[in-house]
Amino acid sequence: MLLIYVTLIKFTYKVVFIYNFIMHKTVKNLIYIEDLIKSKANHDKLSKIIAVSKTFPIENILPLIEHGHLDYGENKVQEAIDKWSTIKNKNKTIKLHLIGKLQTNKVKFALRIFDYIHSLDNEKLANKIADEQIKQGKKPKIFIQVNIANENQKSGINKERLDDFYKFCKNLNLDIIGTMCIPPNDDNTKKYFSEMNVINQELNFQELSMGMSADYLEAIKNNATYVRVGSKIFGSRT
C-alpha cells in the first residue's frame, strides 16, 4: 500500500512538472514571436498577436494571461462563452476576437463575449449586428472579411463590392476598423497580402487583420496590424 502511495506521489509530481514546463514554453513561444515581429516590422505600429486559443482549455492559456498578454482568438461562440466568461469578468482588459464565421442566430451571444469580430461578410449579418448592438448598448470593433482571390468556396466580400459594402455598414453605425483576409493556400500569399495592404489604405483604415502561424511574418511586411497565431504558441492541436 505504501509503495502504491509513493508511486502515485511521484507520478503526480511528474505530471505537475511536465505541465509547468509546457506552460513555460508557451510563454517563451509568445516572447520569441514578439521579438521576431519587432525585428521584421517595417512600420512604427507593431502588429498585435492574437493568440488563437480555440480548442485549447483555459488551463493552457492562463500562463499567457498571467504574463500579461491580452488578445485571444476563438472561432466558436459557445466555446468562447464557456471558456472565457469567468476570466473576462475578472480581467476587463482581455480582448476576445471572433475569428470564425458568425451566423446570424449567434450574434446576440457573440456580442456578449467578443470585443472584436473579424468576419463580417454580408448585409444580413451586418443588419443583425446593428440591431443587437443597440439592444445591448455595446459596439464591437469589426473587420470586413475580404475574399481577396474571389474563391467560390470561401466567405468574404469580393473586392469589387467592398466599397459599397463599407458604405452600407457605415450607414448602420457599425464600428468598422479595417479589413481581414485569409489568402489561398498557394505560392501567391505575398501578392495577396500586398493587394490587401493597398485596399486597406485606399479605404483609409488603420487596422488590417491577416497572417497566421505559417505566414504572419509576410503579413507584417505588408502592414498587418493583427496577426493570428495558434500552433506556434500553443503547439499542435490534437
DSSP-derived secondary structure letter, 186:
S
The pLDDT, as a whole number, for residue 13 is 44
As a whole number, the mean pLDDT across the chain is: 89
DSSP-derived secondary structure letter, 233:
H
Residues in the chain: 238
Instruction: Single out the residue of 42, 28, 26 nearest to residue 218, CA to CA.
Output: 42
Q: By mean pLDDT, which of 82-91, 178-187, 201-210, 224-233 is the weakest?
A: 178-187
- With 0-12 / 13-18 / 19 or more C-beta atoms within 10 angstroms meaning exposed / middle / buried, residue 60 is middle
> 97 near 143, Cβ under 8 Å?
no
Measured N-to-C along each axis, helices 77-90 and 58-67 cross at an angle, to the nearest 10 degrees, of 40
DSSP-derived secondary structure letter, 43:
S
- Count: domains in the chain: 1
**∠ CA 180-185-188 to the nearest 5 degrees?**
85
The pLDDT, as a whole number, for residue 188 is 86
d(CA 117, CA 119): 6
pTM above 0.85, yes or no: yes
Q: State yes or no: pLDDT of 238 exceeds 90.
A: no
Q: State yes or no: pLDDT of 17 exceeds 60.
A: no
Q: What is the pLDDT of residues 63-93, one digit of tens each?
A: 999 999 999 999 999 999 999 999 999 999 9
d(CA 207, CA 176): 10
Largest CA distance in the chain: 74
**H or E, element range at 182:** none
Q: State yes or no: pLDDT of 132 exceeds 60.
A: yes
Q: State yes or no: pLDDT of 136 exceeds 60.
A: yes
* Neighbour tally for 80: CB within 10 Å: 25
Q: By mean pLDDT, which of 8-12, 32-36, 216-220 is the weakest?
A: 8-12
CATH of the domain at 225: 3.20.20.10
Q: What is the pLDDT of residues 148-167, one digit of tens each?
A: 988 888 889 999 999 999 99
Range of the domain at 134: 2-234
